[in-house]
Amino acid sequence: MSKDARQKSSTKCGKYRLRLFTAGNEYNSMQARKNLKKFCQEHFGCDCELEEIDVLENPSAALQEQILVTPTLEVRTNGPESRILIFGNLTDRRRLEAAMPDKG
């Protein structure tokens, strides 16, 4: 994936806004990318907007959002002041499900 592709939305077609902050192709970042993609396909189909930000290529974006650990998933809900952060490689599906806004 190119630098530009990592910093732009890879999936954009719905009501869920997810941002995954990664550190290049580090093992945990690759695992988080894979786990999130699978989770989104199974649970949302085309109902989420997913943006990946590689902090090695764009450190200012991480600093602006006060992201100091990677991988970090940011789930935006009901406006810019409401967000949920999940840290790690996203293997715990229960944490992902609990963090997602109600689909109803």
Domain ranges of the chain: 3-99
Q: Phi/psi at 12 (nearest 5 deg)?
A: -145, 100
Q: Average pLDDT over the chain, rounded to whole?
A: 81
- Condensed to tens digits (0 to 9), the pLDDT of residues 53-93 reads 999 999 999 999 999 999 999 988 666 567 889 999 999 99
Cα separation, 32 vs 28, whole angstroms: 6
Q: Is the whole-model pTM more than 0.75?
A: yes
Task: Give the pLDDT confidence score for residue 102 in this predicted structure.
Answer: 62
Question: Under CATH, to which class is 3-99 assigned?
Answer: alpha beta
Mean pLDDT of all residues in 8-26: 73
pLDDT score of 14 more than 70: no
Edge-to-edge strand ranges of the sheet holding 16-22: 9-12, 48-54, 16-22, 72-76, 83-87
